[in-house]
Structure 1
Amino acid sequence: MEAVLALVGLGLAAPGVIDCVVRAGREIETRISSTRHLPDHIRKYRTFGTELSRGVLFTQLELVASAINQRTIGGDLKDQLEACFQKIVECLIAAEKELKKVEANEFKGILKILFGMQLGFESKIRELEQQRDIFTSLANLIHQHQTAPPVSHLGNRVKLRHESARSRPGSLLPTSEIRVAKCEMGKSVVKSVVVESRPFNSHSKPQLEEDIQVLVQKLRQTSSSTSIMNCLGYRQNPFHDTFEILFELPTDPTQRSLADMLASDLKPTLNHRVALCKLLANAVSEVHSIDLVHKSIRPRNILVVGTYHVERSAQTLFLTDWTLVREVGEASVWQGEDEWQRAIYQHMTRQGLHAERKYTINHDIYSLGVCMLEVLLWRPFIVDPAFTIGSASPNPPRELSEFFQQRAVALGPSVGVPERYLKDTQNIMRSAVVVKAVLVDLCRTELPPDVGIERNAGNQGVTVFVKLL
């Protein structure tokens, strides 16, 4: 009974659980094999021991134990499997206790089984068989999940127009990294889509595909969302080692990045700017509501659809660039953001090659605050010196806006940067402390009073505004 008791408290994902199961099965086999003239129900128990140690049940337990940690398997199914396994362990312990009573009545090597004992033992065996059958049904669902292609995998059902080994389909929206293309869905159905790519190699492919499946699964739960585009699924690019996630683009013809609006539009009314901030906050909130962190919130990745009207705004706003997204509880890579155009939107503990802290929801909220600050001031922090309306170069030369640079110099060398760093984006951006100081100062001195910040507020209150706005 020692090996059976060793199973108590073990979950299916516990290291070594299969070895413990095998030992328990062998213990049952060995004990009962030494007894002659076995009644049918005790012979069934020995067969159950064989199933545990090397039979069908062993194979199913091995399958489930190897798959239980996969994030694409639903939580309800995992809970049912764990509960069933624990019930099997409970039944085994109860059966062992009944068997001990039976063995106490052994006479000259022959089991003399009293009627009451026989009924008790038979009852436990029937329970074991019921739980085994339930576990078999659940294990079959795991097997089907592993062998069937995921529903979210689009496969060869879709084709992006004008794609080839030498050129990417579609085009980028101006002042953005949002790629828009036409997608043939079959049966003469053509949709406008946003295409987001994630390259892989032979080593990273399995884990990356699982990450994408989990992401797509969560995004498809938000079909009624007003700030997450309808996710059609994912596919593997036919020409390159790249997975592509496809989002259905809204039909409204007015589609622009927030960065494009900041760079080329005249300053809107305060009401319009506040309305955009509310849309943006709602979009970030919806991401967090499905237990995801976005990790890349910045104007070049924010899609604004429709036009603004004072009485009834028809604008909607969507976050794009889901390539860095992960689940809230998932381990975060402690790799910081070194590309300055991205780093300016990252919390100071996430800047540089090596992040000081893992990524959290609060870091998303900080990025949200920086974007809101740009919107309320209507002054982009990053500009293309050679910007022309309608340009859509994928990698235009960019630099810090003169407005941002001058504020960094105005703060002085002790808080900001020396005057010689004017026009030197790289040196200004080298210090995360300087970037934060500029943002806090802009918040304290430039925000319209109507948004609720007193110009003489202490640093603590201003910093909270920048982070949480």
Structure 2
Amino acid sequence: MTDPAIHALAISAPEFVERVLGDWDNIDHRRKGYNNSTFLANELKLFGLPERRNMLKADLELARVISQDLKEEKFKLELADCFKGFIDVLKAISHVADTVYEEMGRNCESCTPKANNQLKDLIASFEEKSAAFHQMIFSLAANVKETSACLVASKDLRLIDQPTKSPTISGRTYPAKASYTQSENDLPTEEDVLVEKIYTVIKYKKDMAAGCQTLASKLMLAGPNWNIPRLICYRNDEKTNCMDFIFKYPHPELKLLSLHQLYTNGRPEPTLNIRLKLCYQIAAAVLQAYVLGLTHKHIQPQNLLVSTREDNICVEQASLILTGWLNPCSSECQQKSESAFSELIHQYPNYRCRGDTPNVDYNIGYDIYSMGVCMLELLTWELLVRPVGTEEVLSAAYQREFERQENGQTSDTPSNNDLSDDKNHESLIQRYTKDSEKVKNTLIAITETEVRKRAGDNMADLICRCLNCLDPKTGLYDVDTLQQKSIVVQIFRDEIFQRFNRLLSVI
């Protein structure tokens, strides 16, 4: 049997993911033992980044799904050959790192230039080959058949905690316990779940049923570390005229709160490390949704849920998931989010809904823009549109920067205007959100002032890149690029994840 065929079988094996991650963890274990060696600790630092490990795990899980579902043998062999390239380098890194460590022990903290250069070359080769593996997985994902949708009858799934007894986390999302059977011969399983309701518009009921089936089929492929909740099944709830999407509850020992709740319930601002990791997890969720063939359309603080301890007033070691899958169907029957003004702030300028249909086709660039706005709020730890009683009020920072833009002033011009207490809140917000380009320019101005001051130049530059991602001159993507999935993914990885990796490696 040829090497590619052997590796194709290896990828399909149940223990495939754990075996490869075992090699990664062995290198990380050795890295931790090299604390007295600056050279080795620095060279192997990427193996100490949990974000990189999680990304590799997601790649491996998707590779296993793809290898089982690909119909053409040549694609399986190409995937296996690409996998062999980076796994061989991973094993070589482990071997050479041991050799270097032994030489340094014998030669008083020094090693031969040959071994030194060999390890550096292997690390560079691993980065290149793992990126190639990553790109191939995503390019092959388009050839994989959809998982069969998991529509269940209401009698086969019972929610033990009814919605009226369960406090909502964000609008249509609430926690519950569910009892269901996974197959005819199994006993009922009872577990904590997350329920998301998608209300049916009667006029478009048929389209929405098909849209929900497609959405469910794609969400079923989400890996456990993709910052997207894992779908168990979905059902048609005729009593409430909606579809219930039932997800596994992440970290049942923890409480789920939306970022919107965290901002408004008085919890102290987390450390910069935590906020950067949450930003990274938002980016991971956006990319993984795109890999699944989904664009979200409503990336806002209400739909970004964070696991945190209920008895801890501080946010520590937070884990984030993306929810709020409100648009499974065609653009003609899109549903509005609950906060119209928040939507206007978070929505890409060219995608302002007017009437029933948006004026352009949706693409990942609009999700990246919304992601940048959410990162801005995370790093300043302040909502741009906050609730005050029954009203919505724009943040003072937004109003100040908007006025500066209007008056042609620079950020150095002092301003103490805080119009948040003005009695006519709604007319003020309408004025500040009517012109979408001015909204975008105001957000960039806040990033240049507040984010640069609070989180540094790299994060400020990254958010500006997100807000300008579709700019014809300086943006990440153009019209032609958006048609090529593998290139979209590679640019996202190079321009967004690489920046995060550099930041997270030094904090």
The 1-side partners of 2:220 and 2:212 are apart by 12
Is residue 399–residue 418 contact of structure 2 (8 Å, CA) maintained in 1? no
8 A Cα contact 2:235 2:245, kept in partner: yes
CA change 1:400–1:236 in 2 (3 A) is: same
Q: 1:314 to 1:350 in 2, by over 3 A?
A: same
1:448 aligns with 2:452: yes
Query: Match for residue 401 of structure 1?
Result: 395
For residues 44-71 of structure 1, the C-alpha deviation after alignment (integer angstroms, 9 at most, x for no partner) is xxxxxxxxxxxxxxxxxxxxxxxxxxxx
SS state at 1:348 partner: coil
Which structure 1 residue ranges, 5 or more long, are not aligned? 1-74, 80-149, 387-395
**Hey, what does 1:429 align to over in structure 2?**
433
Relative distance call for 1:177 and 1:362 in structure 2 (3 A) is same
Pick from 175, 183, 192: which aligns with 1:180? 175
| 1:304 match: secondary structure | strand
Q: Distance in 2 between matches of 1:255 and 1:334?
A: 29
1:324 aligned partner, one-letter code: N
Residue 385, structure 1, aligned to residue 379, structure 2:
no
After superposition, what is the alpha-carbon deviation per residue over 1:425-447, rounded to whole angstroms, capped at 9, x for unaligned?
23222221221121011011111
Distance 1:218 1:413 in 2: 48
Q: Which amino acid aligns with 1:368?
A: M
Q: Does 1:153 align with 2:154?
A: no
Report what 2:200 is aligned to.
Answer: 200
Alignment of 1:60-79 (within 5 A): none
Other structure's SS at 1:180 match: strand
Distance 1:216 1:322, change over 3 A: same
Change over 3 Å in CA distance of 1:467–1:337 after alignment to 2:
farther
Q: Deviations over 1:183-238 (max 9, x none)?
A: 22255633222222223355533322221111111111124334111201111114
Amino acid at match of 2:195: V
Please tell me whether residue 371 in structure 1 is matched to residue 408 in structure 2: no
1:158 and 1:415 map into 2 onto residues whose CA distance is 59
Matched pairs, number: 303
> 1:42 is matched with which residue?
none
One-letter code aligned to 2:285: A
Q: Deviations over 1:246-270 (max 9, x none)?
A: 1121213232111122222222222
1:265 aligned to which of 250, 264, 267: 267
Deviates more, 1:266-275 or 1:369-378: 266-275
- How far did residue 340 of structure 1 move? 1.7
SS, match of residue 401 in structure 2: helix
Q: C-alpha distance in 1, partners of 2:333/2:359?
A: 7
Match of 1:346 in 2: 347
User: Following the alignment from structure 2 to structure 1, what is the Cα–Cα distance between the partners of residues 263 and 419?
Assistant: 28
For the residue of structure 1 that corresponds to 2:297, the secondary structure is coil
Contact 1:234 1:244 in 2 (8 A): yes
Aligned to 2:209: 209
- The alpha-carbon distance between structure 1 residues 158 and 352, as it changes in their structure 2 partners (threshold 3 A), is closer
Flag the structure with higher helix content. Answer: 2
Read off the aligned partner of 1:405 and give its amino acid letter: Q
Q: 1:209 to 1:409 in 2, by over 3 A?
A: same
Matched letter for residue 348 of structure 1 = P
| 1:316 pairs with one of 308, 316, 319 | 319
Q: Which amino acid aligns with 2:374?
A: C
8 Å contact kept, 1:298–1:345: yes
CA distance in 2, matches of 1:304, 1:461: 22
TM-score, normalization by structure 2 = 0.52
Quick check: 2:346–2:370 contact (8 Å CA) kept in 1?
yes
- Report the AA paired with residue 197 of structure 1: K
- Rate the CA distance shift 1:335–1:179 in 2: closer, same or farther, 3 A: closer
Structure index of larger Rg: 1
Q: Deviations over 1:414-468 (max 9, x none)?
A: 699x99896422322222122112101101111135855389x9xx997425345
Name the SS of the counterpart of 1:197 in structure 2. Answer: strand
Q: TM-score w.r.t. structure 1 length? A: 0.56
Does the 8 A contact of 1:383 with 1:401 survive in 2?
Answer: yes
Q: Could you say what secondary structure the match of 2:220 adopts?
A: helix
CA gap of 1:202–1:257, structure 2 versus 1, over 3 A, is closer
User: Is the 1:231–1:247 Cα contact (8 Å) retained in structure 2?
Assistant: yes
Distance 1:176 1:379, change over 3 A: farther
Cross-structure match for 1:58: none
After superposition, what is the alpha-carbon deviation per residue over 1:116-154, rounded to whole angstroms, capped at 9, x for unaligned? xxxxxxxxxxxxxxxxxxxxxxxxxxxxxxxxxx65012
2:166 to 170, 187, 191: 170
Corresponding letter in the other structure for 2:431: N
Residue 294 of structure 2 is aligned to residue 292 of structure 1: yes
1:404 partner amino acid: Y
| Alpha-carbon distance, 1:281 to partner | 0.9
Describe the SS at the equivalent of 1:183: strand
Matched AA of 1:227: N
**Alignment partners' CA distance in 2, 1:241 and 1:407:** 44
Q: Which runs of 5+ in 2 are unaligned?
A: 1-68, 73-147, 182-186, 411-416, 470-495, 497-507
Change (3 A) 1:467 1:177: farther
In structure 2, distance between residues paired with 1:239 and 1:218: 26
Shift of 1:322: 0.8
Distance 1:235 1:199 in 2: 12
Q: 8 Å contact 1:177–1:301 — kept in the other structure?
A: no
Distance 1:189 1:291 in 2: 30
Q: Distance in 1 between matches of 2:379 and 2:325?
A: 25
* Change over 3 Å in CA distance of 1:419–1:172 after alignment to 2: closer
8 A contact 2:233–2:246 mirrored in 1: yes
Asked whether the equivalents of residues 181 and 194 of structure 1 are also in contact (C-alpha less than 8 Å), the reply is: yes
Which sits farther off after the overlay, 371-380 or 234-243?
Answer: 234-243
| Compared CA separation, residues 420 and 453, structure 1 to 2 (3 A) | closer
Two-structure CA RMSD over aligned residues (Å)? 3.9
CA gap of 1:183–1:398, structure 2 versus 1, over 3 A, is farther
Distance 1:257 1:420 in 2: 27
Q: Report how far residue 159 of structure 1 moved.
A: 1.6
1:212 match: secondary structure: helix
Counterparts of residues 75-224 of structure 1 (less than 5 Å): 152-155=150-153, 156-161=155-160, 163=162, 168=164, 170-173=166-169, 177-185=172-180, 187=187, 189-200=189-200, 203-224=203-224
Question: Any conservation in 2 of the 1:182–1:190 contact (CA below 8 Å)?
Answer: yes
Higher relative contact order (CA 8 A, sep 6+): 2
- Report the counterpart of residue 97 of structure 1 in structure 2: none
* Preserved contact between residue 194 and residue 247 of structure 1 (Cα < 8 Å): yes
